[in-house]
């Protein structure tokens, strides 16, 4: 089992949020933050890389998390997977000096932040890249890294259902349902059993029942009956 990040006497609670929990280890070099109420209970992740650490979406930006990030060597990149993952971006950039990466159709939501936008893909390093997966929102995107047999950070593009299976969810706020399903198919075409092992969803992590990621990721993606999903109505 991968150990959690070590505790520290220098991690006092933050009076604004009350959050005191350190991020939990998902796999070697990958950590999950506690759900952030400022982003509708979304889960942010921290990915350590020799070429520069990546923060995936925004955790609650309290002293505990700030200390953790500093202990891990800081943040080079803050990657925003979708518009709902935006919270305290300017504050995070100012305190860490990170570069904010967001898909071009949602960069306008951060007018006071220095951002790097992309269209289709964005390469963070030789092992990690962003992939545009529109549908949940116009600029919804995933982050893929080849470490641990292939890990995909899905934001809200794919989320665990009550059985812990990764699925696209159609809700009232879904931007374009057919396009979201096409994005799922593109991921199935892009990867294989040897290149995609784990999924790290950006919300609904309570449905994982103590698990910190979704394994057999490619097999589970291939098991989705996209035709059935095409017929679904919002909220189902």
Q: Is the pLDDT of residue 54 over 80?
A: yes
| pLDDT value, residue 235 | 57
Per-residue pLDDT tens digits for 191-230: 999 999 999 999 998 898 778 899 999 999 999 999 999 8
| pLDDT value, residue 12 | 37
Task: Find the mean pLDDT for residues 174-181.
Answer: 96
Task: Find the mean pLDDT for residues 8-16.
Answer: 38
| pLDDT value, residue 234 | 67
Strands (E), 8-150: 24-27, 30-32, 45-47, 54-56, 77-79, 99-103, 115-118, 121-123, 128-132, 141-145
- Distances from the Cα of 139 to the Cα of 80, 82, 112, 197, angstroms: 9, 6, 18, 24
Across the strands, what pairs with 100? 78, 115
- Distances from the Cα of 51 to the Cα of 10, 68, 94, 101, 158, angstroms: 27, 18, 20, 16, 27
Per-residue pLDDT tens digits for 57-96: 999 999 999 999 999 999 999 999 999 889 999 999 999 9
User: Which residue in 28, 9, 22 sits closest to 59, CA to CA?
Assistant: 22
Q: Is the pLDDT of residue 121 over 70?
A: yes
**Which residue did the predictor score with more confidence, 172 or 221?**
221
CB 36 within 8 A of CB 109: no
Q: What are phi and psi of 229, to 5 degrees?
A: -65, -30
**Which residue did the predictor score with more confidence, 113 or 233?**
113
Helix (H) or strand (E) holding 68: helix 63-71
| pLDDT value, residue 231 | 86
Give the distance, in angstroms, between the CA of residue 216 and the centroid of all CA atoms in the same chain: 18
Structure tokens at 2: 């991968």
Domain boundaries, the chain: 24-230
**Which residue did the predictor score with more confidence, 17 or 221?**
221
User: Which residue in 47, 63, 49, 56 sits closest to 81, CA to CA?
Assistant: 56
Q: Roughly how many angstroms between the first and final C-alpha of the chain, as a whole number?
A: 35
CATH superfamily, domain at 24-230:
Ribonuclease Z/Hydroxyacylglutathione hydrolase-like (3.60.15.10)
Task: Find the mean pLDDT for residues 16-30.
Answer: 78
| pLDDT value, residue 14 | 39
Percent share of the chain, pLDDT over 90: 79
User: Which residue in 204, 195, 90 sits closest to 150, CA to CA?
Assistant: 195
Residues in contact with 225: Cβ distance below 8 Å, sequence separation at least 6, in sequence order: none
Specify burial of residue 94 (Cβ count, 10 A radius: 0-12, 13-18, 19+).
Answer: exposed
Per-residue pLDDT tens digits for 134-156: 999 999 999 999 999 999 999 99
Q: Is the pLDDT of residue 29 over 50?
A: yes
Q: Write down the pTM of the prediction.
A: 0.89
């Amino acid at each position: 089992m991968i150990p959690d990040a070590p505790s520290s006497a220098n991690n006092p609670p933050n009076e604004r949020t009350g959050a005191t929990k350190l991020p939990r280890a998902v796999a070697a070099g990958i950590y999950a933050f506690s759900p952030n109420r400022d982003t509708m209970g979304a889960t942010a992740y921290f990915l350590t890389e020799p070429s520069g650490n990546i923060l995936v979406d925004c955790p609650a930006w309290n002293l505990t998390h700030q200390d953790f990030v500093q202990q891990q060597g800081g943040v080079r990149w803050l990657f925003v997977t979708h518009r709902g993952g935006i919270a305290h971006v300017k504050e995070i950039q100012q305190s860490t000096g990170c570069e904010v990466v967001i898909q071009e159709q949602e960069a306008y939501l951060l007018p006071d932040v220095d951002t790097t936008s992309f269209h289709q893909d964005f390469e963070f390093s030789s092992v990690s890249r962003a992939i545009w997966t529109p549908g949940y929102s116009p600029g919804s995107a995933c982050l893929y890294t080849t470490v641990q047999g292939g890990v995909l950070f899905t934001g809200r593009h794919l989320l665990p259902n009550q059985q812990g299976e990764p699925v696209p969810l159609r809700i009232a706020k879904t931007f374009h349902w057919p396009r979201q399903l096409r994005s799922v198919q593109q991921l199935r075409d892009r990867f294989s059993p040897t290149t995609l092992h784990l999924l790290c969803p950006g919300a609904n992590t309570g449905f994982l029942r103590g698990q910190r990621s979704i394994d057999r990721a490619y097999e589970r993606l291939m098991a989705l009956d996209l035709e059935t999903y095409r017929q679904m109505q919002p909220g189902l």
